[in-house]
Structure 1
Amino acid sequence: MPHSDFATHVAQGLGQLPKTLSSMYFYDDVGSQLFQQIMGLPEYYPTRTEYAILQEQSAAIVAALRPEAGPFSLVELGAGDGLKTKLLLRELLRQQADFTYAPVDISAGAMSGLAAALRQELPTLRLDPVVEDYATALQQLPTRPGSKAVLFLGSNIGNFGPAERLAFLRQLAAPLAPADRLLIGFDLQKDPRRIRAAYDDAQGITAAFNLNLLRRINRELEADFDLRYWQHYTDYNPLAGAVRSFLVSTRAQQVQINKLGRSFDFAAWEVIHTENSYKFTRPQIEEMAREAGLRVAAVFQDTAGDFADVVLAKM
Structure 2
Amino acid sequence: MTTISPALDLACRSALGARTELIREVQNGLQSRPRSLKPWMLYDELGSRLFEQITALSEYYPTRTERSLLERRTDAIVASACADSQPLRVVELGAGTASKTCLLLAAAVRKRIEVIYMPLDVSADALEIACRGIESAFPEVLLEPVVVNYVDSPPKLEDFDGSTLALYLGSSIGNFMPQESRTILRNIGSQLRNGDALVLGTDLVKEESILIAAYDDNEGVTAAFNLNVLNRLNNELGADFDPTGFRHRARWNPVASRIEMHLECVRDQYVEIASAELELHFREGETIHTENSYKFTDNTLDALLSDSGLKIESTWKDERSWYAVTLSRRLDEDQCDRK
Q: Sort the TM-score into its range (normalised by shorter chain).
A: over 0.9
In the alignment, is residue 42 of structure 1 matched against residue 58 of structure 2? yes
Q: Measure the CA separation in 1 of the matches of 2:144 and 2:26.
A: 34
In the alignment, is residue 240 of structure 1 matched against residue 292 of structure 2? no
Q: Tell which deviates more after alignment, 242-251 or 62-71.
A: 62-71
Q: Indicate the residue corresponding to 1:310 in structure 2.
A: 326
In the alignment, is residue 146 of structure 1 matched against residue 150 of structure 2? no
Q: Indicate the residue corresponding to 1:224 in structure 2.
A: 240
Q: Measure the CA separation in 1 of the matches of 2:49 and 2:75.
A: 31
In the alignment, is residue 100 of structure 1 matched against residue 116 of structure 2? yes
Output the amino acid matched with 1:60: A
Output the amino acid matched with 1:243: I
Q: Indicate the residue corresponding to 1:213 in structure 2.
A: 229
Q: 1:199 aligns with which of 207, 215, 218?
A: 215
Report the alpha carbon displacement of residue 108 of structure 1 after superposing the two structures with TM: 4.1
In the alignment, is residue 25 of structure 1 matched against residue 33 of structure 2? no
Count of residue pairs brought into register by the alignment: 315
Ranges in structure 1 where 5+ consecutive residues have no aligned partner: none
Ranges in structure 2 where 5+ consecutive residues have no aligned partner: 1-15, 332-339
Query: What is the correspondence of 1:1-315 to structure 2 with a 5 Å cutoff?
Result: 4-68=20-84, 70-134=86-150, 139-315=155-331
SS in structure 2 of the partner of residue 183 of structure 1: strand
Report the alpha carbon displacement of residue 139 of structure 1 after superposing the two structures with TM: 4.4
**Mapped contact 2:37–2:289 kept (Cα < 8 A):** yes
SS in structure 2 of the partner of residue 141 of structure 1: coil
Report the identity percentage: 38
Q: Could you give the per-residue CA deviations for residues 30-86 of structure 1, whole angstroms, max 9, x where no partner exists? A: 111111111111100001111111112222222232245522311111222221000
Q: Tell which deviates more after alignment, 50-59 or 106-115.
A: 106-115
List structure 1 segments (4+ residues) > 6 angstroms apart after TM superposition: none
Q: Measure the CA separation in 2 of the matches of 1:212 and 1:28.
A: 9
Report the alpha carbon displacement of residue 163 of structure 1 after superposing the two structures with TM: 1.5
Q: Indicate the residue corresponding to 2:336 in structure 1.
A: none
Q: Measure the CA separation in 2 of the matches of 1:107 and 1:262.
A: 26
Q: Measure the CA separation in 2 of the matches of 1:110 and 1:175.
A: 25
TM-score, normalising length: structure 1: 0.93
Q: Measure the CA separation in 2 of the matches of 1:95 and 1:212.
A: 43
Output the amino acid matched with 2:50: L
CA, structure 1 residues 109+272, in 2 after alignment: closer, same or farther (shift >3 Å)? closer
**Mapped contact 2:94–2:119 kept (Cα < 8 A):** yes
Report the alpha carbon displacement of residue 188 of structure 1 after superposing the two structures with TM: 0.9
